[in-house]
Amino acid sequence: MPEQRKIRQKGATMRLGDYPCEVRLGTLAIAAYGKRLIHERHRHRYEVNNDYRKNLETSGLVISGVNKELNLVEMIELREHPWFVGVQFHPELKSRIIGAHPLFRDFIHAAITYKYHARPGNKS
C-alpha cells in the first residue's frame, strides 16, 4: 500500500479484525449473502491497487464487494466464469460445521450443478 512504502518493520501494518463490505447487486456475492452490507474478518496486508481498477473491470473483472470507508476492493468475480469469487478476507474464520459460510455453501452448490448440468456433452 502506498502509505506503507517507507515502513521497514511490517509487524503492525497488517489489516486485522472485522471490516464492513458493501456487496454489489447482480453478483454471485449478493446471491450468496442475501444482503448488501456484510462484515468479514481479515488477517493480511495485501490490497488491490486502485490505480488498476478501471482496467481490471474493462477486462472482465467484476468488483463485487468494497469497503467504502477505506476505498478497498474486498471481493472480485469473473463475469464469464460459472462461479469465480475471490475475497480479501478469510471466510473460513466464520464457517462452522453446522453453518457453512455463504461463499463456501454456494461454491459447493455451483460445483455440483456444473458437474451434473453444465458440462459440454452432458445429456442430462
Res 97: pLDDT? 87
Q: What local confidence, expressed as pLDDT, does residue 45 receive?
A: 73
Q: Which CATH code fits 11-118?
A: 3.40.50.880
User: pLDDT per residue over 43-98, tens digit each?
Assistant: 877 888 999 999 999 999 999 999 999 999 999 999 889 899 999 999 988 888 89
Structural domain boundaries in the chain? 11-118
What pLDDT, on the 0 to 100 scale, is given for residue 46?
80
- Whole-structure pTM value: 0.81
**Cα–Cα distances in Å, from 80 out to 44, 84, 107?**
28, 9, 16
> Going by DSSP bridges, is the β-strand pair 37-44/61-67 parallel, antiparallel, or unpaired?
unpaired
The per-residue pLDDT of the chain, averaged, comes to 87
